[in-house]
Amino acid sequence: LDRVFEIGRLFRNEGIDMTHNPEFTTCEFYMAYADYEVLMEMTEELISGMVKKLTGSYLLTITDGETEKEIDFTPPFKRLPMVATLEERLSIKLPKDLESEETNTMLKGVCAQRNLTCPPPTTSARLLDRLVGAV
């Protein structure tokens, strides 16, 4: 098997805030001849297998103290195309060139309409990430 695994302690001081810990441990791997589909399958197997092993079921009930919600980790997970799903849920049509100034201006407007803030730099990639996290 053409694979390399690495577990390591890291410290990063860029972008420190209340939601990001600058010290963390990573588990990285590199696998020859694997594409993102293979990586999604491996991640799905890892997460669903962990839930099943720890709880005895693929169904996991979580609570925020008031409301209970059941999450189903039964594989295969539903896969959604990011841009098409975002367009559908926000009732918008994004320009083809996601890096254009036109797209950036549009994304800033969509975020503003939904009272979503995005700290600088407000690149299209960061704005898209903010919108995906909100819908």
21-57 pLDDT, tens digit each = 778 788 888 889 999 999 999 999 999 999 999 999 9
Among the listed residues 44, 49, 52, the one whose alpha carbon sits nearest the alpha carbon of residue 76: 44
Query: Which of the pair, 61 or 17, is modelled with greater confidence?
Result: 61
Q: Counting every residue, how long is the chain?
A: 135
pTM as predicted? 0.69
Among the listed residues 78, 74, 39, the one whose alpha carbon sits nearest the alpha carbon of residue 60: 74
**Letter for the amino acid at 1?**
L
Can you tell me the distance from the alpha carbon of 59 to that of 102, in angstroms, rounded to the nearest whole number? 43
